[in-house]
Amino acid sequence: MCGRFTLTADWGLVREWFFIEMAEQMERIAPRYNVGPGQDVLAVIAHEGKRRAGWLRWGLKPSWTGADGKAPAPLMNARAESLASRPTFKTLLARRRCLVPADGFYEWKKAADGKKQPMRVVLTDRPLFSFAALYDTYVAEDGTRHHSCVIVTTEPNRTMSAIHDRMPAILRREDETLWLDRSVSAPDRLLPLLRPYDDAAMRAYPVSAAVGNVRWDAPACIEEVAPPEPPPTLGTLL
Protein backbone atom coordinates (compact mmCIF):
# COMPACT_ATOMS: atom_id res chain seq x y z
CA MET A 1 0.00 0.00 0.00
CA CYS A 2 1.02 3.63 0.18
CA GLY A 3 0.18 5.47 3.37
CA ARG A 4 2.80 8.24 3.58
CA PHE A 5 5.23 9.93 1.22
CA THR A 6 7.59 12.88 0.85
CA LEU A 7 8.06 15.72 -1.61
CA THR A 8 11.01 17.73 -0.38
CA ALA A 9 12.38 18.98 -3.71
CA ASP A 10 12.41 22.65 -4.68
CA TRP A 11 9.30 23.75 -6.58
CA GLY A 12 11.42 24.89 -9.52
CA LEU A 13 12.80 21.38 -9.95
CA VAL A 14 9.34 19.83 -9.60
CA ARG A 15 7.91 22.14 -12.24
CA GLU A 16 10.77 21.49 -14.65
CA TRP A 17 10.89 17.73 -14.05
CA PHE A 18 7.18 17.20 -14.75
CA PHE A 19 6.96 19.75 -17.58
CA ILE A 20 4.29 21.71 -15.73
CA GLU A 21 3.06 24.61 -17.86
CA MET A 22 0.03 25.74 -15.86
CA ALA A 23 0.18 26.34 -12.11
CA GLU A 24 -1.46 28.92 -9.90
CA GLN A 25 -0.23 30.00 -6.46
CA MET A 26 2.51 27.38 -6.51
CA GLU A 27 5.61 29.54 -6.15
CA ARG A 28 5.93 29.07 -2.38
CA ILE A 29 5.37 25.35 -1.97
CA ALA A 30 7.17 24.20 1.18
CA PRO A 31 9.07 20.90 1.39
CA ARG A 32 6.89 18.14 2.85
CA TYR A 33 8.51 15.35 4.83
CA ASN A 34 5.47 13.36 6.00
CA VAL A 35 2.45 13.61 3.70
CA GLY A 36 -0.54 11.58 4.86
CA PRO A 37 -4.09 10.70 3.82
CA GLY A 38 -6.66 13.43 4.29
CA GLN A 39 -4.16 16.11 3.32
CA ASP A 40 -4.00 18.07 0.06
CA VAL A 41 -1.37 16.72 -2.31
CA LEU A 42 0.20 18.20 -5.42
CA ALA A 43 -1.13 16.53 -8.57
CA VAL A 44 -0.48 16.91 -12.29
CA ILE A 45 -3.16 16.46 -14.96
CA ALA A 46 -3.40 17.01 -18.71
CA HIS A 47 -5.48 20.10 -19.53
CA GLU A 48 -6.02 21.29 -23.10
CA GLY A 49 -2.75 19.75 -24.24
CA LYS A 50 -0.73 21.16 -21.36
CA ARG A 51 0.32 19.83 -17.99
CA ARG A 52 -1.46 21.55 -15.14
CA ALA A 53 -0.59 21.33 -11.43
CA GLY A 54 -3.08 21.73 -8.61
CA TRP A 55 -4.20 20.38 -5.26
CA LEU A 56 -6.26 17.25 -4.63
CA ARG A 57 -7.36 15.83 -1.28
CA TRP A 58 -5.74 12.44 -0.76
CA GLY A 59 -8.69 10.15 -0.08
CA LEU A 60 -11.13 9.66 -2.94
CA LYS A 61 -14.62 11.10 -2.52
CA PRO A 62 -16.47 9.90 -5.66
CA SER A 63 -18.69 12.15 -7.73
CA TRP A 64 -21.62 9.85 -6.95
CA THR A 65 -21.47 10.70 -3.24
CA GLY A 66 -25.02 11.18 -1.91
CA ALA A 67 -26.69 14.56 -1.57
CA ASP A 68 -26.11 14.38 2.16
CA GLY A 69 -22.38 14.17 1.50
CA LYS A 70 -22.20 10.67 2.88
CA ALA A 71 -20.14 8.02 1.10
CA PRO A 72 -17.90 5.11 2.04
CA ALA A 73 -14.73 6.06 3.90
CA PRO A 74 -12.35 7.98 1.59
CA LEU A 75 -10.14 5.59 -0.38
CA MET A 76 -6.43 6.30 -0.21
CA ASN A 77 -5.31 3.35 -2.37
CA ALA A 78 -6.72 1.42 -5.33
CA ARG A 79 -5.42 -1.95 -6.49
CA ALA A 80 -4.18 -1.88 -10.08
CA GLU A 81 -5.60 -5.36 -10.66
CA SER A 82 -9.18 -4.19 -10.10
CA LEU A 83 -9.21 -0.75 -11.75
CA ALA A 84 -10.88 -1.97 -14.93
CA SER A 85 -13.55 -4.00 -13.15
CA ARG A 86 -14.62 -2.01 -10.07
CA PRO A 87 -17.35 0.53 -10.91
CA THR A 88 -15.76 3.13 -8.62
CA PHE A 89 -12.53 3.13 -10.64
CA LYS A 90 -13.50 2.00 -14.15
CA THR A 91 -14.64 5.39 -15.42
CA LEU A 92 -11.81 7.20 -13.64
CA LEU A 93 -9.24 4.93 -15.28
CA ALA A 94 -10.63 5.89 -18.66
CA ARG A 95 -11.02 9.62 -18.08
CA ARG A 96 -9.45 10.96 -14.90
CA ARG A 97 -5.84 9.97 -14.42
CA CYS A 98 -3.17 12.09 -12.77
CA LEU A 99 0.38 12.04 -11.45
CA VAL A 100 1.21 12.59 -7.78
CA PRO A 101 4.86 13.78 -7.58
CA ALA A 102 7.09 12.43 -4.80
CA ASP A 103 10.72 11.85 -3.93
CA GLY A 104 10.22 9.05 -1.41
CA PHE A 105 7.58 7.10 0.47
CA TYR A 106 7.28 5.33 3.80
CA GLU A 107 6.31 1.77 4.61
CA TRP A 108 6.41 -0.11 7.90
CA LYS A 109 8.43 -3.32 8.14
CA LYS A 110 7.80 -5.87 10.85
CA ALA A 111 10.96 -6.31 12.90
CA ALA A 112 12.23 -9.45 14.58
CA ASP A 113 10.92 -8.27 17.95
CA GLY A 114 7.41 -7.89 16.53
CA LYS A 115 7.54 -4.11 16.39
CA LYS A 116 7.18 -2.19 13.15
CA GLN A 117 10.10 -0.21 11.77
CA PRO A 118 9.28 2.65 9.38
CA MET A 119 11.34 2.56 6.20
CA ARG A 120 11.77 5.33 3.67
CA VAL A 121 11.98 4.14 0.09
CA VAL A 122 13.67 6.24 -2.60
CA LEU A 123 14.75 5.75 -6.18
CA THR A 124 18.44 5.71 -7.01
CA ASP A 125 18.05 6.46 -10.72
CA ARG A 126 16.22 9.82 -10.49
CA PRO A 127 15.50 12.55 -7.92
CA LEU A 128 11.75 12.69 -8.47
CA PHE A 129 9.08 10.24 -9.53
CA SER A 130 5.31 10.01 -9.76
CA PHE A 131 2.65 7.73 -8.38
CA ALA A 132 -0.09 6.72 -10.79
CA ALA A 133 -3.33 8.14 -9.39
CA LEU A 134 -6.99 8.68 -10.23
CA TYR A 135 -9.10 11.69 -9.31
CA ASP A 136 -12.72 12.75 -9.15
CA THR A 137 -14.82 15.80 -8.24
CA TYR A 138 -17.85 15.76 -5.98
CA VAL A 139 -20.16 18.78 -6.17
CA ALA A 140 -22.09 19.51 -2.98
CA GLU A 141 -25.62 20.91 -2.97
CA ASP A 142 -24.29 24.40 -2.29
CA GLY A 143 -22.08 24.18 -5.37
CA THR A 144 -18.85 23.59 -3.47
CA ARG A 145 -16.50 21.37 -5.47
CA HIS A 146 -14.42 18.73 -3.67
CA HIS A 147 -11.46 17.45 -5.68
CA SER A 148 -9.86 14.23 -4.40
CA CYS A 149 -7.59 11.42 -5.54
CA VAL A 150 -6.56 7.84 -4.86
CA ILE A 151 -3.05 6.43 -5.35
CA VAL A 152 -2.77 3.17 -7.28
CA THR A 153 -0.88 0.20 -5.81
CA THR A 154 0.55 -2.89 -7.43
CA GLU A 155 2.41 -6.08 -6.54
CA PRO A 156 5.73 -5.59 -4.74
CA ASN A 157 9.13 -6.01 -6.34
CA ARG A 158 11.89 -7.88 -4.51
CA THR A 159 12.96 -4.83 -2.51
CA MET A 160 9.44 -4.13 -1.31
CA SER A 161 8.37 -7.74 -0.75
CA ALA A 162 10.68 -7.83 2.27
CA ILE A 163 8.74 -4.89 3.72
CA HIS A 164 5.13 -5.14 2.55
CA ASP A 165 2.92 -7.16 0.20
CA ARG A 166 1.96 -4.07 -1.85
CA MET A 167 3.75 -1.04 -3.25
CA PRO A 168 2.65 2.17 -4.95
CA ALA A 169 2.50 2.07 -8.75
CA ILE A 170 5.48 4.24 -9.68
CA LEU A 171 5.38 5.27 -13.31
CA ARG A 172 8.49 5.08 -15.43
CA ARG A 173 9.42 8.50 -16.73
CA GLU A 174 8.73 7.45 -20.31
CA ASP A 175 5.22 6.23 -19.32
CA GLU A 176 4.00 9.40 -17.63
CA THR A 177 2.90 11.04 -20.89
CA LEU A 178 0.78 8.05 -21.87
CA TRP A 179 -0.82 7.89 -18.41
CA LEU A 180 -1.86 11.53 -18.74
CA ASP A 181 -3.00 11.27 -22.37
CA ARG A 182 -6.75 11.90 -22.28
CA SER A 183 -7.20 10.47 -25.76
CA VAL A 184 -6.23 7.04 -24.40
CA SER A 185 -8.87 5.12 -22.44
CA ALA A 186 -8.29 1.43 -23.24
CA PRO A 187 -7.34 -0.61 -20.15
CA ASP A 188 -5.06 -2.83 -22.23
CA ARG A 189 -2.86 0.21 -22.90
CA LEU A 190 -2.97 1.65 -19.41
CA LEU A 191 -2.79 -1.30 -17.03
CA PRO A 192 0.65 -2.53 -18.27
CA LEU A 193 2.09 0.79 -17.04
CA LEU A 194 1.27 -0.20 -13.46
CA ARG A 195 3.84 -2.97 -13.09
CA PRO A 196 6.29 -3.05 -10.14
CA TYR A 197 9.20 -0.64 -10.45
CA ASP A 198 12.70 -2.01 -11.05
CA ASP A 199 13.94 -3.11 -7.62
CA ALA A 200 17.57 -2.52 -8.63
CA ALA A 201 16.76 1.21 -8.75
CA MET A 202 15.21 1.36 -5.27
CA ARG A 203 16.71 1.79 -1.82
CA ALA A 204 14.96 1.39 1.52
CA TYR A 205 16.43 2.65 4.79
CA PRO A 206 15.14 2.91 8.39
CA VAL A 207 13.88 6.22 9.76
CA SER A 208 12.63 7.42 13.12
CA ALA A 209 9.51 5.79 14.55
CA ALA A 210 8.22 9.32 15.11
CA VAL A 211 7.26 9.34 11.42
CA GLY A 212 4.17 7.46 12.59
CA ASN A 213 2.84 10.78 13.87
CA VAL A 214 1.53 12.48 10.71
CA ARG A 215 1.71 15.87 12.47
CA TRP A 216 5.51 15.56 12.57
CA ASP A 217 6.72 17.13 9.33
CA ALA A 218 10.40 18.07 9.56
CA PRO A 219 13.71 17.27 7.83
CA ALA A 220 14.51 14.75 10.57
CA CYS A 221 11.72 12.55 9.17
CA ILE A 222 13.92 11.46 6.27
CA GLU A 223 17.16 11.00 8.21
CA GLU A 224 18.48 7.44 8.30
CA VAL A 225 18.67 5.84 11.74
CA ALA A 226 20.42 2.72 12.97
CA PRO A 227 18.32 -0.40 12.42
CA PRO A 228 16.97 -1.98 15.61
CA GLU A 229 19.12 -4.61 17.30
CA PRO A 230 17.85 -8.16 16.70
CA PRO A 231 16.70 -9.96 19.87
CA PRO A 232 19.38 -12.17 21.48
CA THR A 233 19.38 -15.83 20.55
CA LEU A 234 19.66 -18.68 23.03
CA GLY A 235 23.32 -19.13 22.13
CA THR A 236 24.23 -15.55 23.07
CA LEU A 237 22.51 -15.92 26.45
CA LEU A 238 24.50 -19.02 27.49
| Secondary structure, 3-state, 70-84 | CCCCCECEEEHHHCC
| 149 is annotated as an active-site residue | no
Residue 100 has pLDDT above 60, yes or no: yes
Q: Output the pLDDT for position 238.
A: 47
The residue from 98, 107, 176, 221 that is catalytic is 107
- Identify the active-site residue in 2, 98, 149, 221: 2
**What is the reported pLDDT for 141?**
81
Rounded CA gap, 145 and 152, in Å?
Answer: 23
Backbone phi and psi for residue 150, each to the nearest 5 degrees, phi listed first:
-135, 135
- Averaged pLDDT, 70-96: 90
Taking residues 150-165, what's their average pLDDT? 96
E strand or H helix at 47: strand 40-47
Please say if 107 is a catalytic residue. Answer: yes
pLDDT at position 43 is: 96
Whether 112 shows a pLDDT value over 90: the answer reads: no
* pLDDT attached to residue 57: 96
Residue 230 has pLDDT above 60, yes or no: yes
- pTM flag (> 0.95): no
State mean pLDDT over 120-134. Answer: 97
Cα 177 to Cα 164: distance, rounded to the nearest angstrom: 29
Kind of pairing between the strands at 167-168 and 22-23? unpaired
CA of 234: how far to CAs of 79, 231, 237, 238, in Å? 42, 10, 5, 7
- At 190-224, the pLDDT tens digits run 999 999 999 999 999 999 999 999 999 999 999 99
